[in-house]
Amino acid sequence: MADTRNKQGSGKARAIYASKERQDEWMQAIADRLGRPRITEMPQHPFRGAPDFWRAYDLQQEERINLFMNNWTNLGGHAFRMSSMEEVGRFLLDFVRETGAQKLMQRQPELMGLGLAEALHDVECTVWDSSAEEMIDEAAQADIGVVVVDHAAAYTGTIVVLSSPDKGRSTSLLPRALVAVVPASAIEASLGPILKGLDARPKDQLPAGVHFITGPSRSSDIENDLTIGVHGPGIVYALVVG
Amino acid sequence: MAETAGSSVKARSKQALQDDFLRKAVKFTTERLKNGKRKATEEHGNWEEWRERGRQIRLHTIAHLDYYLNLFADNARKAGAQVYFARDAAEAAVITREIVREKQARSVVKSKSMVTEELHINHVLEEMDVAAIETDLGEYIIQLAHEPPSHIIIPAIHKNKQQIAEVLSEVAGERLEPDTQVLAGFVRRKLREQFLAAEIGMTGCNFAIAETGSIVIFENEGNARMCSTLPKTQITFMGMERIIPSFEDLEVMATLLPRSATGQKLTAYMSAITGPRRTADGDGPEELHIIIIDNGRSRQLGDPDFQELLNCIRCGACLNVCPVYRHIGGHSYGSVYSGPIGAVLTPALMEDPSEWQDIAYASSLCGACWEACPVKIPLHDMLVYLRNRKVESGTTPTAEQVMFKGFNYMMSDHRRLERFLRLGKVGQKFVARDGYIRIKGPLKGWTNYRDLPEIPKQSFRDRWKELQVEIAQQPRTKTMIQDIEQRMRKVLEERSKGGGSGGGHQE
């Protein structure tokens, strides 16, 4: 029990379930059941991914922006088109001043350049700091989380955020309101190109958390009555820039 | 939850049928989900092509499961996850207990997972005196009410607002109004404390990506994200068949699953988690444990009748269209999985299916489940195979066995059948009223719920000679389209000439 020399947990009772022998035994048992020798070479997969007609699906950038904003609004979110990051900065200042809200922001260069922390000395504005021990508590206190998204998909009305030392997963999850800055160039027509991009990344460069967010948090668990914001943010803004 | 296994489906459904609210609530909800699905699939278009693609991806993965599962385990380990293989609930419990003890956990937050229900993980934690908190709104409610889930997507489908307010008021220590916003707001605050305090987060897994070692979770509330972001340790339970090869394949599953389950284009959250937090990350679990579960699943591999069960993506669409489920609700099935999928899956997962087989009869074999299934699992055929296996195992009631032996004897000779019917015509004089037999006797399994028509005075066979004469005498009406008639005439001529065996296409 006290022996912790191996990350897989050798020396612990559960180690046998995590062993290479057990894994091989399982795979052999599956092959036996299927009545053939074990397959160790990558098989031909003729049906990989979406049907052909769907691969051809694409939209012009303006169409993508409109479809994304329509879908986001239909889901119960708010969508605004902005011409520049300066406009985003003004929106955030107004929003925070009017609501007196505490704000949490990802440490992204686009956001850092807005000078919000300086402009907002009268309200609390925290910038994500992965080395800070109490970061999660800070996030839990915040009313508004601000992120610049990595991707968006027009067809489903989805934003995609990837975790990194500068981008906490909590920022898009814990605050009551989420403000997502969506660069127009990040909007794809559908999920396809974004997912293919994940396949294409070198394996050691895949982030721990890839989160696809489609509108506000919702539940229909009480008499099938739609409730917004039951755990995640209930108020979600998408600010499309460009 | 398996405690209900003692009584029969018939007994449980009788209770459910008497609960008027339950029946209406189930009907109301399933109707909405069903319509939502229809709208979403029509809007999206080419639904059949998507279904076929989904089926092909699932078939391909299961046919090469040893390759893909192995690849997933290797890649998940490379990303830093700890991967275990558990044959059954007992092995899963050993692993869980050890991790919980090592982390000295006092409380565990859980997001919705049918697999942990199947393994009775809450019971394991309870025995260790560790709080297991269900955090999905519906699951939280039924956990407080000490009830099992009754629908795969909407677990508290059987409770109304007043009942929910009562349950939650007890926790709050004050009276909460039966208002959805008030109730949901209370749960949000209450569970937020639990998320921040728990040492361990437990989740299920909708899909696992073999090529990257990622687990993918679909949800709407954000509680699965909480469970996989806030606690220091994450344990994910995953059925061994949850695998798909790549993220590219996920696009097809992400198209089929939410549309089939709730009619959404995509659930509010779809999270792909690859390993624990990276060293420099500010949040996410420090340890990620993935427990891969067999628990009877491998028994379907190589079984020509049931292998396709492993294709199931747990959307619940078959429940929403099932006329039986809509009347008796989920609890009547007496197992974790209800509806048509449950009726097949539950016995299929059991080592000794004989004691569960009466749920194979809780269906009308109408095939609506197959039509609704986004990966085209022929559930109605499987229900027939199950019944067949039950008959072959000789565990059907004696009366039924005798009856079908008799039926076989009678039907295999038309003179015998005629003699029997003549006898019946005399016998039924004592029991038939207005053309129907309504007595409860040897036929009560049938006549309890519907009336048996009496044997007509003249059978079709009796009338046949008479009918032939009648047809011959009738003036030939010109109802048949000319060219069809000509073709048929030609076939008849050829047949009388003795040419060919008849029947085939001529032109």
Q: What is the CA radius of gyration of chain B?
A: 28
**Rounded CA gap, B447 and B453, in Å?**
10
Residue ranges per structural domain of chain A: 61-241
**Rounded CA gap, A211 and B281, in Å?**
15
Residues in chain B: 507
- Poorest-confidence range of A13-22, A68-77, B15-24, B308-317? B15-24
- Poorest-confidence range of B178-182, B331-335, B460-464, B473-477? B473-477
**Rounded CA gap, B241 and B297, in Å?**
8
CB nearest B251 (choices: A43, A49, A207) = A49
- Poorest-confidence range of A225-229, B80-84, B107-111, B128-132? A225-229
pLDDT digits (tens, 9 = 90+) for B335-380: 888 899 999 998 888 877 666 667 778 788 899 999 999 999 999 9
Determine, for residues A14 and B273 on separate chains, whether the beta-carbon distance falls below 8 Å: no
Across A116-230, the runs of DSSP E, i.e. the strands, are 125-127, 144-148, 151-153, 158-162, 177-183, 187-188, 209-213, 218-219, 227-228
Q: What SS3 string covers B235-277?
A: EEEEECCCEECCHHHHHHHHHHHHHHHCCCCCCCEEEEECCCC
Strands B233-239 and A177-183: unpaired
pLDDT confidence band for B481 (50 / 70 / 90): low
- Poorest-confidence range of A106-120, B163-177, B366-380, B487-501? B487-501
pLDDT at A194: 98
Q: What is the predicted ipTM?
A: 0.94
Q: Tell whether A57 lies on the interface with B, counting CB pairs under 8 A.
A: no
Cα dihedral B117→B122→B123→B124 (10° resolution) = 110
pLDDT at B439: 66
pLDDT at B477: 59
Facing residues of A181 across strands? A148, A239
**Rounded CA gap, B372 and B364, in Å?**
15
- Choice between B453 and A181, residue whose per-residue pLDDT is larger: A181
CA closest to A39 among chain B residues? B67
pLDDT at B98: 97
Outline where B79-227 has alpha helix (H). 89-102, 114-119, 121-127, 137-144, 161-172, 180-197, 223-227
Q: Which fold has domain B2-299?
A: Rossmann fold (3.40.50)
Overall pTM surpassing 0.90 (yes/no): no
Most confident of B14-28, B276-290, B320-334: B276-290
Determine, for residues B302 and A155 on separate chains, whether the beta-carbon distance falls below 8 Å: no
Domain spanning A61-241: which CATH class is it, in words?
alpha beta
pLDDT at B437: 73
HSE of A100, CA atoms in CB hemisphere, 13 A: 0
B387, pLDDT greater than 90: no
B301, pLDDT greater than 70: yes
Facing residues of B220 across strands? none
Residue ranges per structural domain of chain B: 2-299, 463-497
pLDDT per position in chain A (242 positions), as tens?
A: 344 444 444 468 899 999 999 999 999 999 999 999 999 999 999 999 999 999 999 999 999 999 999 999 999 999 999 999 999 999 998 898 888 888 888 889 888 888 777 777 666 788 899 888 888 888 888 899 999 999 999 999 999 999 999 999 999 999 999 999 999 999 999 999 999 999 999 988 999 999 999 999 999 888 888 899 999 999 999 999 99
Query: Average pLDDT of chain B?
Result: 87
pLDDT at B351: 78
Q: Quick one: average pLDDT of B375-400?
A: 85
Q: Quick one: average pLDDT of B455-481?
A: 77
B61, pLDDT greater than 80: yes
pLDDT at B498: 62
Determine, for residues A217 and B269 on separate chains, whether the beta-carbon distance falls below 8 Å: yes
B53, pLDDT greater than 50: yes
Residues in chain A: 242
Instruction: Please give the interface size between A and B, counted as residue pairs whose CB atoms are below 8 Å apart.
Output: 288
pLDDT confidence band for B506 (50 / 70 / 90): very low
Q: Tell whether A40 lies on the interface with B, counting CB pairs under 8 A.
A: yes
CB nearest B284 (choices: A9, A41, A209) = A209
Determine, for residues A211 and B270 on separate chains, whether the beta-carbon distance falls below 8 Å: yes
Q: How far is CA B464 from CA A116, B328, B460, B468, in A?
A: 93, 44, 6, 6
Angle at B261 between CA B257 and CA B262, to 5 degrees: 120
pLDDT digits (tens, 9 = 90+) for B206-233: 999 999 999 999 999 999 999 999 999 9
Name every residue whose Cβ is closer than 8 Å to that of residue B210 and which is 6 or more positions away in sequence: B61, B68, B69, B71, B72, B75, B243, B244, B245, B246
B476, pLDDT greater than 70: no
CB nearest A221 (choices: B98, B156, B188) = B156
Q: How far does the CA of residue A223 sit from the closest CA of chain B (Å)? A: 6
